[in-house]
Amino acid sequence: MFKRKEKVIRHLPFFGKENLTSYLMSAPYMLIFITFNVLPILISIVLSFTYFNMLQSPSFIGIENYLNLLTNDDLFITGLKNTIIMAICIGPGGYILSFLMAWLINEMQGALRTIMIFLFYAPSISGNVYFIWTYLFSSDSYGLVNGVMLDAGFINEPIRWFQNPDYMMILVVCVALWTSFGTGFLTFAAGLKGVSRTYYEAAMVDGVTNRWQELYYITLPIMRPQLLFGAIMSISGGFGVGGICNALCGFPSTQYAVHTIMNHLEDYGGSRYEMGYACAIAVILTLLIVGMNYIIRKLIERVGE
Amino acid sequence: MTLSIKDLKSKLGMNKGAHMSNMRLRNRSTGGYIATLIFLLLFASIMVLPMVYVVANAFKPLSELWIFPPRFFVYNPTGKNFSDLVELMNTSTVPFSRYIFNTVFIAICGTVGNVLLSSCCAYVFARRRMVGGKAYFSIVRYALMFVGGSVTGIPNFLVMSSLGWIDTYWSYIIPAMGTSMGLYLMKQFMEQMVPVEVIEAARIDGCGEMKILFRIVMPMVKSGWVTLIIFSFQGLWNTGGTNYIYEESLKTFNYAMSQITAAGITRAGVSAAASLLMMIVPITVFLIAQSNVLETMSTSGMKD
């Protein structure tokens, strides 16, 4: 319905003075970005081909780290499986939930809208909120959920929620979804305000009758820039899950039931000082994210065409 | 409630002078609106439950924090947790106001810098031409997808120490100005909200590039940078201990709070009070910023 327009200013010459202006305007950001983001990442990638214990200087060992990871490290494979299960639930699940809620909230106006967005964003606003869940699902009888269930007579002894592999995965996924109304959600909420009413009014004249058609043919195509941004954020969030597992189930978790790639990485990078190995894990994790993002991108670009 | 009355009025045509964005579209039914509202409120009450719990906990005496059966709400509210917290704050070697100043300073400088630099660069990527621009931008995208946790710790430390920025404010502020998220966010909003025709018209009228950016583009993408302010401020406000700061007087509010509350069960009350206090400022910033996300009229006055 909406043809993508020529993106840049048409009569602007490509080279010469205009090009210099472009460089000058982007220089301050790019300088900081390359120094503090790109450079450390490049160094990490180089380190992934070395043995580096943070005491001696790194020694080059080729792809040995990668070979060990994929063939010798059972725990990494466990982590890989858990991460993929979690990423598939948390990434797309959180993404769709965030958009759906932002879309519904967009019907509200003024202060009511602000308050709604605040209520949904509430879990993301304070740095560390997981402790509430360890409190609610505490494994002794003082935990709220166990306390209520004991009182009501459903169970005879407290359930060890975060130590029993039957419950761990589902609890971690639920808490992660609960925290997923973050970056993507706010971006969608702000972006939806940029979809001018005139489009909807024009579409009604053109015969768009129900909300779902409106969503597919107008809202989603116009929201494409924000959707692409949100996709990266939720995919990275989904694959990078790890902190929640530690906060809820401790490290290492019982039978490694919620051991993720990120936990594995922090174990080698933070506790064992095998930096080369940790870097190799990070590179593999990033490749997973890049691959997944490529697929999602292709899907989003097809919407509403 | 005033809102629904306003809606009713606009439906009945009673306030003809109302702003267009205050009216609902014709294909929306009042019943559907109310159903949506109820659904959202139900969902929101689950989302906000833990925050309510934080507030309740902050006012619970120790005896209520460890009671069986556990209580969700507070029965005998007390201010003792807060007075204990203040007492503990007064015992610290560096005055607590210094920690607060550090955090406020870092958060404001970092946020303003992030918005300005990201917007400048995003404008180039979204609406101007540049040799190598596409390659540049894909670097930003890939950097956003690099999830490395602690592996960038050592390289970052090497960069910081070779710049001589260990134990300086720079080590907090400057990296926060060049986040890949900031640039990507601003670029996507500019692509959605800024029509090329408007910029072309401004250029023909002889408007300089910086003037175009700050007078024309930025007002159009206000909801974008307001959102970026929320993310950036919140992140910086929660800055804890870093690898680059060893001088006690340069450490942050969050770091000092976590030191105070990290003493186990006996400090449970103090810790609950501290987490409530830490939340208040980001919540205020959030509410002010969010209420400024308004419908942009970027296409008004254009003929396609």
- B45: buried, middle or exposed (CB in 10 Å: 19+, 13-18, 0-12)? exposed
Provide the residue ranges of all domains of chain B, joining segments of one domain with +.
1-45, 90-290
Q: Give the pLDDT mean for B43-51.
A: 83
Task: Domain of residue A247: give its range.
Answer: 74-302
Pick B150's closest partner by Cβ from A8, A19, A270. Answer: A270
Q: What angle do CA B184, B188, B192 make, to 5 degrees?
A: 170
Chain segment A244-264, per-residue pLDDT in tens: 888 888 878 888 888 999 999
- Which residue of A lies nearest to B209 if distances are taken between CA atoms? A21
pLDDT for the residue numbered B21: 46
Chain segment B266-295, per-residue pLDDT in tens: 788 888 888 888 889 999 999 999 888 876
pLDDT for the residue numbered A2: 46
Q: What angle do CA A289, A7, B123 make, to 5 degrees?
A: 75
- Residue A45, pLDDT > 90, answer yes
Interface test with A, best of B116, B151, B278 (most A CBs within 10 A): B151
Pick A107's closest partner by Cβ from B33, B143, B254. Answer: B33
Q: Kindly state whether A273 is in contact with chain B, defined as any CB-CB distance less than 8 angstroms.
A: no
> A226 and A280 in contact (C-beta within 8 Å)?
no
The secondary structure of residue A38, as a DSSP letter, is I
- B61: buried, middle or exposed (CB in 10 Å: 19+, 13-18, 0-12)? middle
The residue among A236, A202, A233, A226 whose CA lies nearest residue A106 is A226
pLDDT for the residue numbered B24: 57
- Percent of residues, chain B, with pLDDT higher than 90: 34
- Residue A177, pLDDT > 50, answer yes
Greater pLDDT, B176 or A304: B176
B164 vs B177: CA distance, rounded Å: 18
pLDDT for the residue numbered B103: 94
CATH of the domain at A217: 1.10.3720.10
| Token pair of A152 as six digits | 């009501």
Is-cis flag, bond preceding B77, omega within 30?
no
CATH classification number, B90-290, choose in 3.20.20.60, 3.40.50.150, 1.10.3720.10, 3.40.50.2000: 1.10.3720.10
The residue among B180, B197, B188 whose CA lies nearest residue B224 is B188
Q: pLDDT averaged over chain A? A: 85
Which CA distances in Å does A223 have to A17, A191, A192, A255?
34, 7, 7, 43
Question: Which positions ≥6 away from A54 have C-beta within 8 Å?
Answer: A273, A275, B154
Query: At which residue do the structure tokens 């804890």 appear?
Result: B240
Which CA distances in Å does B16 have to A235, B4, B294?
46, 16, 21
Interface predicted TM-score of the whole assembly (ipTM), two decimals = 0.86
Residue B84 distance to chain A (closest CA, Å): 21
Question: Which residue type does B302 have?
Answer: M
Q: Please state the φ and ψ torsions of residue A60, each to the nearest 5 degrees.
A: -70, 125
pLDDT for the residue numbered A204: 81
| CB burial readout A162-187, b (16+ within 10 A) else e | beeeebbbebbbebbebbbbbbbbbb
Q: Where are the alpha helices (DSSP H) in B27-132?
A: 30-58, 62-65, 80-90, 96-127
- B167: buried, middle or exposed (CB in 10 Å: 19+, 13-18, 0-12)? middle
**Helix B170-177 and helix B222-237: axis angle, to 10°?**
150
Is-cis flag, bond preceding B69, omega within 30?
yes
| Token pair of A147 as six digits | 């306390």
- B48: buried, middle or exposed (CB in 10 Å: 19+, 13-18, 0-12)? middle
DSSP three-state, residue A51: strand
* A32-36, A164-168, B112-116, B230-234: least confident range: A164-168
> A225 and B191 in contact (C-beta within 8 Å)?
yes
- Which residue of B lies nearest to A121 if distances are taken between CA atoms? B47
- Residue A39, pLDDT > 80, answer yes
Residue A60's DSSP bridge partners are A50
Q: Give the pLDDT mean for B85-113.
A: 91
Number of A to B CB contacts under 8 A, please give it: 316
Pick B178's closest partner by Cβ from A37, A54, A285. Answer: A37
Question: Which residue type does A298 have?
Answer: K
Residue A251 distance to chain B (closest CA, Å): 16
A233/B181 Cβ within 8 A: yes
Chain segment B122-146, per-residue pLDDT in tens: 999 998 888 888 898 999 999 989 9
- B140: buried, middle or exposed (CB in 10 Å: 19+, 13-18, 0-12)? buried
E-strand stretches of chain A = 50-51, 59-60
pLDDT for the residue numbered A7: 57
Which residues of chain B have a CB within 8 Å of the CB of A10? Answer: 196, 200
Q: Which of residues 219-248 of A touch B (CB under 8 A)?
A: 222-226, 228-229, 232-233, 235-236, 239-240, 242
pLDDT for the residue numbered B218: 93
Residue A59's DSSP bridge partners are A51
pLDDT for the residue numbered B32: 84
pLDDT for the residue numbered A126: 63
Chain segment A86-107, per-residue pLDDT in tens: 999 998 899 999 999 999 998 8
Q: How confident is the model at residue A80 (pLDDT cuts 50, 70, 90)?
A: very high
pLDDT for the residue numbered B30: 83
Q: pLDDT averaged over chain B? A: 83
pLDDT for the residue numbered B124: 92
A197 vs A214: CA distance, rounded Å: 12
Greater pLDDT, B218 or A17: B218
B139/A38 Cβ within 8 A: yes
* A126-135, A148-157, A282-291: least confident range: A126-135
Q: How confident is the model at residue B89 (pLDDT cuts 50, 70, 90)?
A: confident
Pairing of strands A50-51, A59-60: antiparallel
B226 vs A187: CA distance, rounded Å: 10
Question: Which positions ≥6 away from B251 have C-beta within 8 Å?
Answer: B94, B99, B102, B241, B245
B234 vs A88: CA distance, rounded Å: 28
B74 vs B93: CA distance, rounded Å: 34
Q: How many domains does chain A have?
A: 1
- Residue A129, pLDDT > 70, answer no
pLDDT for the residue numbered A85: 92
A194 vs B173: CA distance, rounded Å: 31
B196/A6 Cβ within 8 A: yes
pLDDT for the residue numbered B9: 40
Count of CA atoms in the C-beta half-sphere (13 A) of A1: 19
